[in-house]
Amino acid sequence: MTRRRMFFKMLTYSLLRRRSRMTVALLSVAIGATVLLGMAAVSYDIPRQMGREFRSYGANMIFVASGEEALLRVDAAQRAAALIPPDELIGLTPYRYGIVRVNMQGYTAVGTDFDQAAKTSPYWSIAGEYPKAGGEILIGADVAEFTKLAPGSSMTVTGRAEDGTRFRLDAKISGTVRTGSVEDGFIFMPMPTLESLMGSSGVAEVVEVSIAADETELKRIVSEISREVPEISPRLVKRVTQSETTVLSKLQALVFLVSLVVLVLTMICVATTMMTVVLERRKEIGLKKALGADNRRIAAEFLGEGLFLGSAGGALGAVFGYMFAQAISMNVFGRAVTIDWRLPLLAVLISIAVTIAACLLPVRRAMDVEPALVLRGE
Partner 1 sequence: MNILELKNISMIYGSVRALDDVSLSVGQGEWLAIMGPSGSGKTTMMNIIGCMDRPTAGSVLLEGEELSGLSPSSLTAIRREKVGLIFQQFHLISYLTALENVMVAQYYHSMIDEREALGALERVGLKERAKHLPRQLSGGEQQRVCIARALINYPRLILADEPTGNLDEANEGIVMEIFRRLHGEGSTIIVVTHDPEVAEEAQRIVFLEHGRIANVVRRDA
Give the binding site for partner 1 (CB under 8 A): 1-3, 6-7, 9-10, 13, 17, 283-284, 287-295, 297, 370-372, 374-377
Nearer CB in complex with partner 1: 220/283:
283
In degrees and rounded to multiples of 5, residue 206 shows phi and psi of -150, 150
Contacts 24+ apart (CB under 8 A), 162-170: 162/198, 162/199, 162/200, 163/199, 165/199, 167/197, 169/135, 169/193, 169/197, 170/135
Please, what is the minimum distance in Å from the beta carbon of residue 359 to partner 1? 21
Nearer CB in complex with partner 1: 227/376:
376
| Cβ atoms of 167 and 122 closer than 8 Å | no
Nearer CB in complex with partner 1: 17/238:
17
Nearer CB in complex with partner 1: 297/342:
297
Query: Coil, helix or strand for 293?
Result: coil
| List of residues 6+ apart from 261 with CB closer than 8 A | none
Please, what is the minimum distance in Å from the beta carbon of residue 8 to partner 1? 12
Please, what is the minimum distance in Å from the beta carbon of residue 3 to partner 1? 6
In degrees and rounded to multiples of 5, residue 107 shows phi and psi of -140, 165
Q: CA-CA distance, 18 to 295, in Å (whole number)? A: 22
Please, what is the minimum distance in Å from the beta carbon of residue 28 to partner 1? 25
| List of residues 6+ apart from 247 with CB closer than 8 A | 50, 54
Please, what is the minimum distance in Å from the beta carbon of residue 377 to partner 1? 6
**CB count in 10 Å sphere of residue 215:** 18
Nearer CB in complex with partner 1: 13/123:
13
